[in-house]
């Protein structure tokens, strides 16, 4: 497979056209278990403003919604956002926007930023740029949660490399508070 980048909107449009849930977010036992660990790792029970980068069809977004006063989900492709809006239709404080990160960074300030299984799609050349965009949008006491698949991602860098690049790029303003290494993914919480 050729390396994929988040900016490759056509790739993701084709992926979602072929399968509206290509990673089985709604049915996978792996996803359910990962979501439970991710939510348990959150350093606060309530956030003023959350940002989920790479929200896909909104399954994790729906689970994050009770923790946030406001929550914005972003995805590079329009197709999954239709389903995400349906998934969270009764959550008036949740909104969605099509955007390619880091180029189309949203306005606003956030005290929770979720990057779950998306950093390697952003690509090694854009991870430092993403870190600098984070620096400019974080509220005091903010948490940044990184979840990275450890298997083959089909991208130019895998989950470990992507996480380590972000940790290095953000080291001047964020500190890793939690690191969990599971058999198939790693989770890092930065504050």
Kindly list the averaged pLDDT for each block of 10 residues, start to end, along the chain of length 191: 53 71 79 96 94 95 98 94 96 97 96 96 94 97 96 89 98 97 97 97
Q: How distant, in Å, are the alpha carbons of 19, 27, 37, 49, 111 from that of 190?
A: 33, 29, 15, 16, 11
Domain count, the chain: 1
Element housing 69 (H / E)? strand 68-75
Q: What is the pLDDT of residue 3?
A: 46
Considering the entire predicted model, what is its pTM? 0.91
Quick: pLDDT tens for 129-160. Answer: 999 999 999 999 999 999 999 998 888 899 99
Q: What is the pLDDT of residue 23?
A: 64
Instruction: Determine, yes or no, domain membership for 184.
Output: yes
CA angle 122-21-16, nearest 5°? 60
Q: Which domain holds residue 173?
A: 9-190
Q: Are 65 and 91 in contact (CB under 8 A)?
A: yes
Supply the CATH number for residue 103's domain: 3.40.50.150
Instruction: Determine, yes or no, domain membership for 2.
Output: no
């Amino acid at each position: 497979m050729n390396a994929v980048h988040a900016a490759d909107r056509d790739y993701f449009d084709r992926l979602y056209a072929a399968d509206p849930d290509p990673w089985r977010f709604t049915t996978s036992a792996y996803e359910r278990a990962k979501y439970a660990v991710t939510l348990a790792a959150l350093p606060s029970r309530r956030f003023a403003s959350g940002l989920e980068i790479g929200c896909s069809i909104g399954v994790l977004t729906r689970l994050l919604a009770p923790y946030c006063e406001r929550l914005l989900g972003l995805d590079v492709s329009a197709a999954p956002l239709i389903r995400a809006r349906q998934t969270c239709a009764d959550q008036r404080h949740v909104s969605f926007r099509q955007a390619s990160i880091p180029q189309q960074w949203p306005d606003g300030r956030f005290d929770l930023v979720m990057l779950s299984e998306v950093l390697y799609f952003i690509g090694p050349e854009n991870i430092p740029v993403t870190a600098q965009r984070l620096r400019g949008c974080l509220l005091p006491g903010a948490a940044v949660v990184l979840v990275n698949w450890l298997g083959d991602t089909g991208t130019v860098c895998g989950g470990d490399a992507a996480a380590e690049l972000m940790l290095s790029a953000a080291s001047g303003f964020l500190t890793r508070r939690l690191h969990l290494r599971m058999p198939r993914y790693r989770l890092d919480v930065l504050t």
